[in-house]
Amino acid sequence: MEINLKLRPAALDDVGKLFGLIQALAEYEKLAHAVTGSVEALQEHLFGSHPYVEAIIAEYDGETAGFALFFPNYSTFLTQPGIYLEDLFVLPKYRRQGIGKEILGYLAKLTVERGYGRLEWSVLDWNSDAITFYERMGAEVLPDWRICRVTGESLNKLSIFL
């Protein structure tokens, strides 16, 4: 059975679809209330004068099936840049068809082609299906690391701390 899957860098006319996928991801993670951004901000951050992120669109039989959004990071221990995968999402009706595996493979190849030292991401601890999938793909889930985040008013307070 031939899979009609196409992975490609996001284009300017994909921004609306991409934002819709971000909203679908937030709903899946029960975090729809946390989406406070806009299509316009996403467009600026992907394609503006100073792009901050990159995205890949997955199309299955000509339909948008998923995406990955990522940006460069840096490892002081490796003294090499890397790719941080912020989000990988495949719409439920397209799951279990190898799309997530293909997206990770695409990003791994991109990481190697750029001469980067690692590809990394976070996964929610309750998402056992994703954890199992990532481990099958060769990822090491680091149990002793926790994400620290400062946003909103806490970020404002910290910015004037000193």
Angle, helices 15-28/39-47, rounded to nearest 10 degrees = 120
Residue 92 φ then ψ, to 5°: -50, -40
134 is catalytic: yes
Residue 162 CA to residue 157 CA, distance in Å, equals: 10
Residue 145 to residues 56, 96, 116, 121, 122: CA-CA distances in angstroms?
Answer: 27, 29, 22, 12, 10
Q: 74 with 82: CB under 8 angstroms?
A: yes
Residues 6+ apart with CB under 8 A from 115: 80
Count CB atoms within 10 A of the CB of residue 144: 4
Residue of 60, 94, 116, 134 with catalytic role: 134
Q: 121 with 85: CB under 8 angstroms?
A: yes
Active site residues: 134
